Amino acid sequence: MRVTSPDFYKYNSLMANLKEVKQRINSVISTQQITKAMKMVSAAKLRRAQDRIIQMRPFSQKLTAILNNVSAASEGATDLVYAEKREVKKVLLVPVTSDKGLCGAFNTNVIKATNLAIRTQFAGAEVTILPVGKKAFEYYKKSKFTVVGQYSTLFHDLSFENIRAAANYAMDAFVDGEFDQVILVFNEFKNVATQIIRTEQFLPMASAETEETTATETDYILEPSREFIIEELVPKALRTQFFKAILESNASEHGARMTAMDKATENAGDLLKELKLMYNRSRQAAITNEILEIVAGAEALGGK
């Protein structure tokens, strides 16, 4: 009958622990390589998205300013279908999220802001959701609200033509009386680490006489007529505003993902340090145990 010493089981336990820690180290290294690669991809996409929104902002602001100046200078010209204010009974909310995750609280913040608006601002209204982005569509298709899902894949091909179709749907539905108000909920891009949630009224158009867009005395020469120009400018300005919100969200998404992946890579590095320290301690304990067994065996043989 063979008797196994307690040190044998202790040694096997140490070796098993070493193997487990080694597997965890390899797993964390693989994860770190993935997060680092995703950070680099997001950085490249962010540069392009940031350039687009920086170029878009001055055009959008100038177009809106011209529209406000011209409409404010025209008697009766502000009596537009897109500026008609009604009692809010039916609302179209447009939450703009991403198609993919791994971007921190980017999508969660949009959904929280949308739900907050539903609970507070539009508590007694009939709410319809037009989600832009896969994450918003997947969330709201399980809800009790009516969901317009045909524009949820705009980020598959982010072009003005595709986004204009979604803007036209909202504008036509407002004119036809299907909705009394249209609200955009999106992340505004500030910098790589900061995105600001905006709940912006799309329709009806805001009054031209706001603090930021007060009409100035500008002598425009308009051809063929002031009223015709306004009728042409209003739909274009609205589509531009919708397009700008989508571009803001796109740039914010890549900034949020880049930040999240950078933090994940940093956390993986910290975890690797802890695991390597644990591995070295366990390995040292196993070596010490082997030495003790050899010394004990030598002393036992010497005693004979």
Question: Which positions are catalytic?
Answer: 103
- Rounded CA separation 263/265 (Å): 5
| Helix/strand/coil percent split, the chain, to 5 | 60, 10, 25
Pairing mode of beta strands 126-129, 146-147: parallel
Q: Hey, how many other C-beta atoms are within 10 angstroms of the C-beta on 172? A: 10
Give the separation between CA 42 and CA 254, rounded to whole angstroms: 5
Q: Residue 17, Cβ neighbours under 10 Å: how many?
A: 17
Any residues with CB less than 8 A from the CB of 213 and at least 6 apart, and which?
64, 65, 68
CA–CA distances in Å: residue 13 to residues 10, 19, 20, 109, 226: 5, 10, 11, 46, 86
Beta-carbon contacts of residue 202 (< 8 Å; ≥ 6 apart) = 94, 170, 182, 183, 184, 238, 241, 242
Q: Closest Cα partner for 286 from 2, 3, 19?
A: 19
